[in-house]
Structure 1
Amino acid sequence: PSPQCPLCGEAAGPELEEHLRARHRHLLGDPGTRNGEQLYECPMCSLTCTNIQILEEHVELHLEEHNFSEDIRDLELAQQLQTEEDERQRSEEEKREREEFKKLQRQYGLDNSGGFKQQFLKNMEREVDRGRMLPFEYHKRKADMMESLASGIDDGKTKTSGVIEALCKYYQNENKDVRRVWLSAGVDHFHSSLGDRGWGCGYRNFQMLLSSLLQNSSFNDCLRDTTLIPSIPKIQSMIEDAWREGFDPHGASHFNNRLHGSKAWIGACEIYSLLTSLRIKCQIIDFHKPTGPMGTHPRLFEWILHYYSTDNEGGAKVVCTSKPPIYLQHQGHSRTVVGIEEKKNKTLCLLLFDPGCSSQQMQKLLKQNSDGSGLKLLRKFVGSLKEKQYQIVAVDGVLSLEEKAARCRASQVLTAEKIP
């Protein structure tokens, strides 16, 4: 590019000297002389020289220096703006993460807003305010609840018994489309109450599983201190006891080692730790991805069929097994598997107890003249279970003290058997 005049910035080209003389003579003054030689003075510093070319090169260096420092300033400004933008984004990200974390804490009941008791009282007060509960009933139910909490025993108000026995009878006479059916040993159904609605499904499914184990004499020894169904706060304390024994430290730290007095959701790992701490032998199976078309899990159904039909190979159409029910978990909810049907067209259908089903709905299944329409509540075909992942906890006998200790050590890194 043509050299620019250092005084006015115009492009002066090779005629810089003439330009300086013509335009800026008054600034330059007359060139001085030294030993008879003509001297040229740099307009940007006090240097004088005898050669106009040298002066031009010298002035160009000044200009390059000037441009370079301009570039440096631009670069510094750009870096400063980028740093400010990065900081703004980081603080927004941190704010978003804090809000997400609070939302998750609320969702999983870890936000210190109280537990079963606080929710029970709050929901009853709401019922009274809306005119759906009389004050005397509020006080009676509050007293019952306080008694249940003090004893650690579930009050049984959400329990329905006898459903498995009623199903056995129903299937004996059903001859439409079921080729064979396998049912768990007896199981009581428990549903969520005012105190655990929205978060208690894991605890309610544990109560269902335990109700079956308590009817099975093989487990008398392990369960001699747990002969009645514990309340939800009591189950929370029992899981904390399992953690204190050393089970699943990673899982325990997720809850800050504390469940009691919270609305924390529990899952397959907590059920495994609790059962194992009671010397009940069980396993977690992780159906970690679909194994059939359209996001279905046929391998889950096959595993459950195998669980119930092993040792029950006879030709009877209705097989009332001695097998305990199975705990079934997916993201956000859990249910209890109490049996499986094989249809005449060879398709499989699970029978599930859902803690979200009320006693009124479950009691329809107890009616003698049932036409089977109530079974819609329980039936789940392969096409109905399309969550990304399912985990089950299946009971498989009793542990010796040595086996329990070995499983406790192994749970330092709790792993599940993965299928596929």
Structure 2
Amino acid sequence: MLTCEICGMEILLEEDMKTHLLLFHLENDHHCPLCGLSGVSYDELCFHITSAHPEDHQGQSPKSPNGSNARKNESKESKTNRSLRFDSSALADKRDLGSSGQSGTENLHLSPGESYECTKDLRKQKEVPLTFEFCFKCYFQIEFNSSLCIPEKLLPCPMCTLVYSCPYLLQEHVELHLLEQESGNCNSSSQYGLDGRGGYRRQMERSMERAVASGHLAPAEFHLKRAEMMERLASGIDDGSSRTQGIIQALKDYYQAECRDCVHVWLSADTDHYSSSAGDTGWGCGYRNFQMLLSSLHRIETYSSALQEKTVPCIPRVQRMIQEAWKEGLDPQGASHFNHQLERTEAWIGATEIYVLLTSLGLRGRIIDFHQPTGSRNTHPQLFDWVKKYFCPSSVSNRLSPRLILTSLPPLYLQHQGHSRTVVGLEQRKNGNLCLLLLDPASSASDTRKLLNRDTCCTAIQFIRKFPRSLKHKQYQLVAVEGVLSSEEKEMRILSSRNLCAERIP
């Protein structure tokens, strides 16, 4: 039995659930052509027009989504195959509405034969090139996990006006921007979120404003949520709404019972997963991975005793921490690149900023730069070998060692062009192949929590496994934490950061 996450209705079959979502939720965003009322059902819209505009509508009823003036004669086939209208004006970012100069598709491709078309009135009034994409990966989750990718949570590209409904497609789209930037065709300020769009707080407010405009959030609730958000940000502590705990324990239970084709499995110390939220979608992966790393360091005695703050900071607080580290003299070149300002921006951070944060906290960080592929088909086997040596420092392979090895080592920060993730483990298969276990901030909290359930763990773990063939970017960087700095060592690192260099392999 399946339960609709929107209205709670229980439905037996998956196909019936998809039809229910299409007919009772995704179609119910009609708007009045005479006054702009939106977020009502078809019947409510009919009543509104006849009562509020008795002279203007002249006896005409609003057209139903398939183009007819009445629903009584709709066939069962037309209900499932028609083209539904989708009013995106309420969900569009106000920033995007003001600056629109490029062409885009106005169809939301849900599956073959089904699309959501922006109304003609919207095109005439706003001319906003919003592009909605449907994730084929999520489509397979519909088939096997009954998880429908509903286009209510729209993800704006941080560098243009396009909007996506899937974080994976957004990531691929952003990487195309990065390729253009390498060719010198992209503005660096927009590229790195330094064009004054307001940062985490303003993006969260825009998200709530869109929810109010679309009818998903009442105005009174908006002000309440905004006040709560401001209070949390003032405290500097992450609210934990996107955090998932118990992942390493869940992986331990899984490997003890399943996956017998692994000769060895190494897991890091306990680490929480932090997923991107509405306030940092599209640019906050570096900050979220730092939160993951810090959550693990707090659980390791060697590092927890050296850390003064015992809580995980929110993203604006992390931005202030980096600015404070710059004031100490760390990485002056990086500070100049960001104009010494991260707070109230949507600036991306990378391995260098993670190193700066670790050093300012008195921890010994190390950047390893795999600057070019070292294997066939643009793969990086030396990166996998390095990770194995990190989790298993013994140079001699011992076949008598246990299959599952729980280490007390913190996870690794993994950076590539446009995105970053956290390495929490490594598999070695019977054929000798190595496989990284990665926690991705782009993965939602609901998807990550499937690892905690034995019934869904076998499927969910496929999304955190990454073999060499999956890592084909030209360059990767790892950041490892390897001890605590003395005060003298910290001063030396501050001085040497004036010409910060990574360890290059090969």
TM-score class, shorter-chain normalisation, is 0.7 to 0.9
- Calculate the aligned-residue CA RMSD, in Å: 1.8
Higher relative contact order (CA 8 A, sep 6+): 1
Residue 321 (structure 1) aligned with residue 407 (structure 2)? yes
Residues of 1 paired with 2:305 and 2:426: CA distance?
A: 29
Residue 168 (structure 1) aligned with residue 168 (structure 2)? no
Residue 124 (structure 1) aligned with residue 208 (structure 2)? yes
Partner residue in 2 for 1:258 = 341
Shift of 1:140: 3.1
Shift of 1:371: 5.1
Residues of 1 paired with 2:201 and 2:362: CA distance?
A: 30
Output one character per residue of 1:121-153: Cα deviation in whole Å (capped at 9) or x when no partner: 011111221223333442332122111111000
Of residues 299, 302, 320, the one that matches 1:218 is: 302
Identical-residue share of aligned pairs (%): 53
1:412 is paired with a residue of what secondary structure? helix
Q: Is the 8 A contact 1:102 1:111 kept in 2?
A: no
Residues of 2 paired with 1:403 and 1:372: CA distance?
A: 45
Task: Flag the 1:408–1:101 CA change in 2: closer, same or farther, 3 A.
Answer: farther
Shift of 1:103: 3.3
Residue 297 (structure 1) aligned with residue 380 (structure 2)? yes
Partner residue in 2 for 1:238 = 321
Of residues 201, 217, 224, the one that matches 1:140 is: 224
Partner residue in 1 for 2:465 = 379
Residues of 1 paired with 2:430 and 2:500: CA distance?
A: 40
Partner residue in 1 for 2:355 = 272
Residues of 2 paired with 1:220 and 1:179: CA distance?
A: 32
Residue 411 (structure 1) aligned with residue 497 (structure 2)? yes
1:223 is paired with a residue of what secondary structure? coil
Matching residue's letter, 2:275:
H
Shift of 1:345: 1.1
Residues of 1 paired with 2:338 and 2:259: CA distance?
A: 49
Residue 197 (structure 1) aligned with residue 276 (structure 2)? no
Residues of 2 paired with 1:389 and 1:191: CA distance?
A: 24
Partner residue in 1 for 2:271 = 187
Mean Cα deviation higher: 139-148 or 265-274: 139-148
Shift of 1:101: 8.3
Q: Which blocks of at least 5 consecutive residues in structure 2 are unaligned? A: 1-180
Residues of 2 paired with 1:178 and 1:140: CA distance?
A: 50
Residues of 1 paired with 2:282 and 2:323: CA distance?
A: 21
Residues of 1 paired with 2:229 and 2:185: CA distance?
A: 32
Task: Flag the 1:264–1:101 CA change in 2: closer, same or farther, 3 A.
Answer: farther
Q: Is the 8 A contact 1:342 1:348 kept in 2?
A: yes
Output one character per residue of 1:93-142: Cα deviation in whole Å (capped at 9) or x when no partner: xxxx9xx7873312211001211111100111112212233334423321
Shift of 1:185: 0.2
Task: Flag the 1:295–1:101 CA change in 2: closer, same or farther, 3 A.
Answer: closer
Q: Is the 8 A contact 2:316 2:343 kept in 1?
A: yes
Task: Flag the 1:236–1:101 CA change in 2: closer, same or farther, 3 A.
Answer: farther
Residues of 2 paired with 1:167 and 1:371: CA distance?
A: 8
1:372 is paired with a residue of what secondary structure? helix
2:264 is paired with a residue of what secondary structure? strand
Residues of 1 paired with 2:197 and 2:259: CA distance?
A: 52
Output one character per residue of 1:312-352: Cα deviation in whole Å (capped at 9) or x when no partner: 96711111100000000001000000000001111000000
Matching residue's letter, 1:234:
R
Q: Is the 8 A contact 2:451 2:457 kept in 1?
A: no
Matching residue's letter, 1:191:
S
Shift of 1:175: 4.0
**Larger relative helix fraction:** 1
Matching residue's letter, 1:179:
V
2:391 is paired with a residue of what secondary structure? helix
Matching residue's letter, 2:420:
S
**Count of equivalent residues:** 322
Task: Flag the 1:136–1:166 CA change in 2: closer, same or farther, 3 A.
Answer: farther
Of residues 384, 394, 397, the one that matches 2:480 is: 394
Q: Is the 8 A contact 1:170 1:370 kept in 2?
A: no
Residues of 1 paired with 2:234 and 2:274: CA distance?
A: 20
Matching residue's letter, 2:278:
L
2:324 is paired with a residue of what secondary structure? helix
Partner residue in 1 for 2:330 = 247
Q: Is the 8 A contact 1:288 1:389 kept in 2?
A: yes
Residues of 2 paired with 1:128 and 1:177: CA distance?
A: 50
Matching residue's letter, 1:409:
L
Task: Flag the 1:161–1:136 CA change in 2: closer, same or farther, 3 A.
Answer: farther
2:422 is paired with a residue of what secondary structure? strand
Residues of 2 paired with 1:182 and 1:419: CA distance?
A: 23
Q: Is the 8 A contact 2:450 2:457 kept in 1?
A: no
Partner residue in 2 for 1:229 = 312
Residues of 1 paired with 2:441 and 2:244: CA distance?
A: 11
Task: Flag the 1:369–1:102 CA change in 2: closer, same or farther, 3 A.
Answer: closer
Residues of 2 paired with 1:353 and 1:199: CA distance?
A: 16
Residues of 1 paired with 2:288 and 2:445: CA distance?
A: 13
2:277 is paired with a residue of what secondary structure? coil
Shift of 1:376: 1.2
Q: Which blocks of at least 5 consecutive residues in structure 1 are unaligned? A: 1-96
Residues of 2 paired with 1:112 and 1:335: CA distance?
A: 26
Residues of 2 paired with 1:134 and 1:373: CA distance?
A: 37
Greater Cα radius of gyration, structure 1 or 2: 1
Partner residue in 2 for 1:330 = 416
Residues of 2 paired with 1:243 and 1:303: CA distance?
A: 30
